[in-house]
Amino acid sequence: MAFYTTVLHAMSEPPTVQCYDAAYAPQTGHYHMLLADVSDTHGQPEWSLPPTQRQCEHVMECIAKFHAFWWEHPRLGQDIGALPTTEQIEKGIADTESKARAFIGFLGDRLSEDRLRIYDHVLAAMPRLSCHLRWARLCEHRAITITHGDSHWWNFLYPHDAARDKVYLIDWQAWRIAVGTDDVAYMLAFWHQERRRRLEQTLLRLYHQVLLREGVTNYAWHECWLDYRYSVIRNLFVPVWLWAHKVPATTWWPLVEPTMLAFEDLGCDEMLEA
């Protein structure tokens, strides 16, 4: 609800369906949102087919424009969004490790020794990655933005006529202040390996180009690529969080191996030693 009552109001052209009205009553927990009906102009690919390459390109432009608008915005952590405290970061690390160990125990021999090694290596490095890298970025207000937080391909609405209408991004309940490539990795790094290898660099470079075109400065391609690889490491825990929230295995199990393959393909293991 806060997204519709604060974030959207600050943007002249938000990348989401027009919101006519939104209100929340904290005393009762009741709320309402009145959104435009775009069923005549927009649709989605059949579940679980990925979008076409052209649709993916439109999505990259959509998410990059949104990220660019909020890039290092002075209102972040002030009256829009909240920056985590050191205590919250440390609690999040401990909670993630606890859930990951339980997840590993639950899966048992469904995970190979090689996959277990990756989880062990990442968990050992997580305090440094979270506190010294991610936390430092947030504290310095450097190359951060508002992210969607659940940017899978079916949280987008695709126009039937791309020359007339734009892509819309929906379901903003997980939005937060973070690193923009978290959203991009959430889209790309869960693909089947062949498709990811074929389109990953093309789409990520488009994302970066749109950021620069929209006014982002001091963010070179090599920084974007490095951020993306760190976001791929973070993706290893998406199946863990889904399992911990009792989401059916039909949703999270197909994500385990693709993100492991992305981790290997992108040489993320070497980043844990940096």
| pLDDT tens, position by position, 10-59 | 898 889 998 888 888 888 888 888 989 999 999 999 888 899 999 999 99
- Residue 136 has a pLDDT of 76
Q: How many domains does the chain have?
A: 1
Is 64 within 8 Å of 211 (Cβ atoms)? yes
CA 31-18-206 angle, to 5 degrees, is 120
Question: What are the DSSP calls for 105-158, one per residue?
Answer: HHHGGGS-HHHHHHHHHHHHHHHIIIIIIIHHHHHHT-S-EEE-S---GGGEEE
**Cα-based torsion angle of the residue sequence 239, 240, 241, 242 in order, rounded to the nearest 10 degrees:** 40
Q: Which residue segment(s) compose the domain that 159 sits in?
A: 50-271
The token pair at 103 is: 């997840």
pLDDT at 131 over 70: no
CA distance 50 to 232: 19
Is 35 within the bounds of a domain?
no
Is 44 within the bounds of a domain?
no
**Closest-CA residue to 154 (of 67, 52, 51):** 51
Is 158 within 8 Å of 55 (Cβ atoms)? yes
* 145 strand-pairing partners: 178
Is 16 within the bounds of a domain?
no
At 94-109, the pLDDT tens digits run 999 999 999 999 999 9
Phi then psi dihedrals of residue 240, to 5 deg: -60, -50
Is 9 within the bounds of a domain?
no
Arithmetic mean of pLDDT, 205-213: 98
CA distance 274 to 272: 6
Is 166 within 8 Å of 234 (Cβ atoms)? no
Is 23 within the bounds of a domain?
no
* 147 strand-pairing partners: 176
At 69-102, the pLDDT tens digits run 999 999 999 999 988 888 888 898 899 999 999 9
- Residue 169 has a pLDDT of 95
**What single DSSP character describes residue 164?**
T
Is 63 within the bounds of a domain?
yes
- Residue 130 has a pLDDT of 76
Neighbouring CB atoms inside 10 A of 256's CB total 21
Is 230 within the bounds of a domain?
yes
Is 80 within the bounds of a domain?
yes
Is 99 within 8 Å of 137 (Cβ atoms)? no
**Closest-CA residue to 7 (of 160, 177, 135):** 177
pLDDT at 133 over 90: no
Arithmetic mean of pLDDT, 195-207: 98
The CATH number given to whatever domain includes residue 140 is: 3.90.1200.10
Which of 46-49's residues contact partners 24+ apart within 8 Å by CB, and which partners? 47/154
Task: Determine if the peptide bond prior to 98 is cis (ω within 30°).
Answer: no
